[in-house]
Amino acid sequence: MSNFKFIPTDVDGVIIVEPKKFGDERGYFMEVYHESDFYAGGIQTQFVQDNQSSSLRGVLRGLHFQRQFPQAKLVRVLKGAVWDVAVDIRKNSPTYGKWVGVELSADNLKQLFIPRGLAHGFLTISDVAEFAYKCDEFYHPEDEGGLAWDDSDLAIAWPLEAAGILGETLPILSAKDCRNPRLREL
């Protein structure tokens, strides 16, 4: 029996992963990845690199993708909470231009699997969030592309208020992410 629940989403190939948590008065234990369980759950990916970041409330990272060396990712939050988004930018996909968003947190322990060919980003909705992700391809900085977080054609429902962003205030973005094009411009 698997220690994971695999939940398909409305975007082709994007899967929410809910690990089983075993706890007692000392704390808890859980598996975060088990190759044969993931293969049986439809995630047949061999990961080659792990990354981790820390972000303050209101930071929006993304939406990022790799052009020639696309990466599948398994993402989760170690501390705090984020609103995580994957956008299908695969031209021949039945869900091209669609997005899925899910809250990932240290409390709910959910993970999100994002297949190759999608743009990915997240908004920090806690004071601080520590974010970890496994990738099936090495990162190539010269190959990175981006998609505008506020593309009106996508109409992503970012929980800006939960991130402390009110009125005309914008999320905290990198200079690079401020210049990302819209999907129709890619």
**CATH H-level, domain 47-185: superfamily:** Jelly Rolls (2.60.120.10)
Q: pTM for this structure?
A: 0.95
User: Per residue of the chain (186 residues), what is the pLDDT tens digit?
Assistant: 789 999 999 999 999 999 999 999 999 999 999 999 999 999 999 999 999 999 999 999 999 999 999 999 999 999 999 999 999 999 999 999 999 999 999 999 999 999 999 999 999 999 999 999 999 999 999 999 999 999 999 999 999 998 888 888 899 999 999 999 999 998
Nearest C-alpha neighbor of 119 from the set 60, 55, 57, 48: 60
Q: Of the residues 28, 133, 139, 140, which is catalytic?
A: 133
- Quote the CA–CA distance of 109 and 174 in Å, as a whole number: 27
How far are the Cα atoms of 10, 28, 103, 141 from residue 135, in angstroms, in the given order?
Answer: 22, 26, 20, 14
| Strands laid side by side in the 73-79 sheet | 4-8, 15-19, 111-114, 73-79, 128-135, 49-56
Q: Of the residues 28, 34, 64, 120, which is catalytic?
A: 64
- Quote the CA–CA distance of 9 and 101 in Å, as a whole number: 9
27 CA to centre of own chain: 27
Active site residue 64: yes
